[in-house]
Amino acid sequence: MCGIVAYIGHQKAFDIIIKGLKRLEYRGYDSAGVALQNNSSLNLYKKKGKVADLVSFIGKKDTNGSVGIGHTRWATHGPPNDANAHPHVSGHKKFALVHNGIIENYSVLKKELIQRGHQFNSDTDTEVLIHLIEEIHTNSKRKLTLFEAVRIALSEVIGAYAIVVINKENPNELIAARKSSPLVVGIGDGEFFLASDATPMVEFTKNVVYLEDGEIAQLNLDSGLKIKTIENQEKTPYIQELEMQLEALEKGGYDHFMLKEIYEQPQSIHDSMRGRIRSSKGLVSLGGIKDYEEKIVNAKRLIFVACGTSWHAGLVGEYLFEELARIPVEVEYASEFRYRNPVINEDDVLIAISQSGETADTLAAIKLAKEKGATIVGICNVVGSSISRESHCGSYTHAGPEIGVASTKAFTAQVTVLTLMALMIGKKKGTISTQRFNRLLVDLESIPEKVESTLKLDKSVKEISNIYKDSSNALYLGRGINFPVALEGALKLKEISYIHAEGYPAAEMKHGPIALIDEEMPVFVIATKDASYEKVVSNIQEVKARKGKVIAVVTKGDREVKEIADYVIEIPSTDDLLVPLLATIPFQLLSYHIAVMRECNVDQPRNLAKSVTVE
C-alpha cells in the first residue's frame, strides 16, 4: 500500500525520492507525487499512474532542491486521479504532507475546518490533516513550531498514519510521525532519509531508526534527530544496523522478482533453519521464543492469526502442532477474529504470521489478544516490523526481502519456521518419539536440496502452463496437510493470472464443486504417497469420470496416479509433514508461467498491495 520516501541533506532530493519510490512500487499503488523545496518555493508534481508516468509528466520542469517528500498512493478516499494523489498542501501553500494510513475522523475535522474557511481540492483524508496542521500552526494562541503544530494536530486524529511534512520556508527540516503504519528514518552523514521500509535507503546508510507507534520525529540538519511521543515525552532514538543487501532488491538477471524469489527458495529455506537445527545432535532451538517456551508448552490452545498466504501457512501449522506437539490449534483470519469478541484466556498463545509484519488486521488481532492476557508469538519476515515489535517473542523467517506481490519464498519460510517450532515444543512436551524427531530433523535438513530438484521440473511445468493458460476456472484439491497447499495454489493462480480458481479438501469436492467439472476444467491435485493417498486416488477417479483434466503432483516413482491423470509432476519423496514445502513449488511456477503467457503484470498484479496497512 502507499509508499513514502523523503530526503533532506546535500544530494538532489528528486533523484533519491524517485529511485526510492520505484523500489517501493512492489507495495502496490495507483498514483504518485513529489514536493520539492527549492529557494523558498515548493514544487509540487502529482500524477495518476506509475512513477514512470510522473517522471515523464515532470519532464524538464524544475526538480532542484535537496529537501523533498514523495509518495505512491493506493486509493482509499477518492478515486486514483491527479488531485487525490499526494503530496497535499495546506491552504496557504507553505506546508505539504504525504500520508500512509487512514484518518478515521476526517469528515468531522473537515466540517470544522470548512466552517473556519478552509477549502479543499481533493476527496482525501490526507488533505484534511495538512489543513488541520496549518490551522493549529496559524491560529494557536502561542507561537508554535511546525513540530509542535503537527504533534497537537495528531493528538486530535483518530486512525492510522505514517506522515512526513515539509515546510516551504524551512529547508533545514522535515517532520515525520507514525501510528500503525510503518516509517523508517535513515541517518546518513549530514543527511536523513525517510521511507515506509528500509529499501529506498539501503545504498546510502546502514543506520536506521524504526519509529514506534505514537512517535513524532524532527529531522533537522543543524540539531539532528529528535523524537517525542504525541503526548510530548522525549525519546532517545534507538539506532539499529540494517542487514539488508542491495542485491536482494534487484532482479539479478531474472525477468521478474517473483521468479527470482521462487528460485531463491533452496537458500531462503536454508536461511530459515540456519543456526536453529542440528540433526547430528538432535537439536532444534529457536532463540527468539526460548524465554516463552514453557508458556507455549503449557498453552491450552494455540490461535494462529494471519491473512492470505500467511493464513495458509497457519493452516499447515495447525497440522504440524496438533501432530507433533498435541496442542489444539485454531486458525483465524485476523480480520474476522478482531471483530468477533473472541474468547481469549491467559493460557492461550496467539501466533501471528506475517511476511511484512505490517498487516493492519493481524496487528489489530495481536493488540486485542494482548489486552486479554494472551502470549503473542510473532513469525515475521521483515525485521523491525510492527508485528515483530508488538509480540512478546517470536522468530524471524529470514527469507530476505520479498518484492513480488505474490508471496512465494515467504510462505515456505513460514512453514519451515512453524515446523521448527512444532518440533521444539513437541520435544519439550514429550509428544514426539525420539526416533520420529530425529528422522524429521534429517528430512528437514535435506529440504533445500529437494526444493532444488523440484525447481528442475520448471520446463515441464511450463509446458503444462501453456496447455491450461486459457482456462477460465481451475480447481485445486488436497487432503490433510496438503489441503492448505491446494488453497495456496489457487490463490497464486487467481491473484497473478486473474483465472478464477478454488482450493478444496479433495473429499469436499462431491459436496458441491464437482458440479463444475467438465472437459474444460483443469483440476490440480496433490496426490503424494501419504496416509490419504488411496482416498485422493479415488477423488481423481471421480474427476476423470466426469471428463475433468487432472494434473497431479505425485511422489517420484508413482505409478497408480500416472495411469489415470492427464499429467503428473513428480516431486522428491519426504516425510508427510514436509510435503507442503515441496508440493507448493510446482504451483508457484505454474501460476508464474500462466501469468507471463497471459501478459499479466506478474510482480504487481492489479488492485493488490504487498503490505496491507489498512483494514
| Complex with ligand F6R: residue 167 or 362, whichever CB lies closer | 362
- Interactions with ligand F6R, residue window 320-359 (CB under 6 A): 354-356, 359
| Complex with ligand F6R: residue 494 or 529, whichever CB lies closer | 494
Of the candidate residues 170, 196, 407, 497, the single one contacting ligand F6R (CB under 6 A): 407
Burial track 483-508 (b if 16+ CB lie within 10 A, e otherwise): bbbbbbbbbbbbbbbebebbbbbbbe
| Complex with ligand F6R: residue 360 or 550, whichever CB lies closer | 360
Whether omega for the bond prior to residue 87 falls within 30 degrees of 0, making it cis, is yes
- 105 neighbors 161 (Cβ within 8 angstroms): no
Least distance between ligand F6R and beta carbon 463 (Å): 24
| Complex with ligand F6R: residue 84 or 310, whichever CB lies closer | 310
Least distance between ligand F6R and beta carbon 540 (Å): 27
> Could you tell me how many residues of this chain bind ligand F6R (CB under 6 A)?
15
Listed in order, strand segments (DSSP E) in 397-460 are none
Greatest Cα-to-Cα distance within the chain, rounded to the nearest angstrom: 84
Of the candidate residues 36, 273, 307, 517, the single one contacting ligand F6R (CB under 6 A): 307
Extract the C-alpha cell encoding 169: 520556508
Contact flags string 262-301 toward ligand F6R, x per CB under 6 A: ----------------------------------------
- Could you identify the residue written with the cell 518440533? 423
| Complex with ligand F6R: residue 173 or 495, whichever CB lies closer | 495
415 lies in the binding site for ligand F6R (CB under 6 A): no
- Interactions with ligand F6R, residue window 477-496 (CB under 6 A): 491, 495
Extract the C-alpha cell encoding 186: 535513515
Q: What is the rounded distance in angstroms from the CA atom of residue 255 to the CA atom of residue 275?
A: 32
Least distance between ligand F6R and beta carbon 382 (Å): 8
Least distance between ligand F6R and beta carbon 354 (Å): 3
Query: Where does 91-171 have alpha helices with state H?
Result: 106-115, 125-139, 146-155
| Complex with ligand F6R: residue 150 or 262, whichever CB lies closer | 262
Least distance between ligand F6R and beta carbon 464 (Å): 21
- Please identify which of the residues 2, 307, 393, 600 carries the catalytic annotation: 2
Q: Find the part of the chain contacting ligand F6R (CB under 6 A) among 154-162, 304-312, 419-427, 517-525.
A: 304-312
Query: Where does 201-307 have alpha helices with state H?
Result: 257-263, 265-273, 293-297
* 241-246-249 Cα angle (round to 5): 115
| Residue sitting closest to ligand F6R (CB) | 308
| Complex with ligand F6R: residue 132 or 399, whichever CB lies closer | 399
| Complex with ligand F6R: residue 167 or 272, whichever CB lies closer | 272
Contact flags string 454-473 toward ligand F6R, x per CB under 6 A: --------------------
Q: Find the part of the chain contacting ligand F6R (CB under 6 A) among 19-27, 71-79, 302-310, 509-517.
A: 302-310
Extract the C-alpha cell encoding 30: 495507483
406 lies in the binding site for ligand F6R (CB under 6 A): yes
Least distance between ligand F6R and beta carbon 604 (Å): 12
| Sequence-ordered list of residues with C-beta below 8 angstroms from that of 237, at least 6 positions apart, any chain | 185, 209, 217, 225, 227
310 lies in the binding site for ligand F6R (CB under 6 A): yes
Least distance between ligand F6R and beta carbon 408 (Å): 8
Neighbours of 512 (CB within 10 A): 10
Q: Find the part of the chain contacting ligand F6R (CB under 6 A) among 267-275, 305-313, 390-398, 551-559.
A: 305-313
Of the candidate residues 37, 38, 199, 309, the single one contacting ligand F6R (CB under 6 A): 309
Active site residue 610: yes
362 lies in the binding site for ligand F6R (CB under 6 A): yes
413 lies in the binding site for ligand F6R (CB under 6 A): no
Least distance between ligand F6R and beta carbon 544 (Å): 30
497 lies in the binding site for ligand F6R (CB under 6 A): no
Q: What is the rounded distance in angstroms from the CA atom of residue 478 to the CA atom of residue 536?
A: 8
Of the candidate residues 68, 91, 288, 308, the single one contacting ligand F6R (CB under 6 A): 308
Least distance between ligand F6R and beta carbon 362 (Å): 5
386 lies in the binding site for ligand F6R (CB under 6 A): no
User: Which residues are registered as beta bridge partners of 301?
Assistant: 348
Which helix (H) or strand (E) segment holds residue 393: the answer is strand 393-396
Task: Concatenate the DSSP letters of all residues of 301-368 into one string.
Answer: EEEEEE-HHHHHHHHHHHHHHHHHT---EEEEEHHHHTTS-----TTEEEEEEESSS--HHHHHHHHH
| Complex with ligand F6R: residue 574 or 604, whichever CB lies closer | 604
Q: What is the rounded distance in angstroms from the CA atom of residue 412 to the CA atom of residue 589?
A: 14
Least distance between ligand F6R and beta carbon 611 (Å): 6
Which helix (H) or strand (E) segment holds residue 29: the answer is none
The percent of the chain in helix, strand and coil, each rounded to the nearest 5, is: 40, 25, 35
| Complex with ligand F6R: residue 90 or 362, whichever CB lies closer | 362
| Complex with ligand F6R: residue 130 or 350, whichever CB lies closer | 350
Cα–Cα distance list, 530 to 396, 446, 504, 551, 557 (Å): 30, 19, 18, 18, 14
Cα–Cα distance list, 317 to 167, 196, 276, 291 (Å): 49, 30, 18, 21
Collect contacts of 513-518 with beta carbons under 8 A, ≥24 apart. 513/475, 514/542, 514/543, 514/546, 516/473, 516/475, 517/475, 517/543, 517/546, 517/547, 517/548, 518/546, 518/547, 518/548
- Please identify which of the residues 48, 168, 179, 610 carries the catalytic annotation: 610
Extract the C-alpha cell encoding 270: 536454508
Of the candidate residues 497, 612, 613, 614, the single one contacting ligand F6R (CB under 6 A): 612
Least distance between ligand F6R and beta carbon 81 (Å): 26
- What type of residue is 221? L
Interface residues with ligand F6R (CB under 6 A) are 307-310, 354-356, 359, 362, 406-407, 491, 495, 611-612
Active centre residues (catalytic): 2, 610
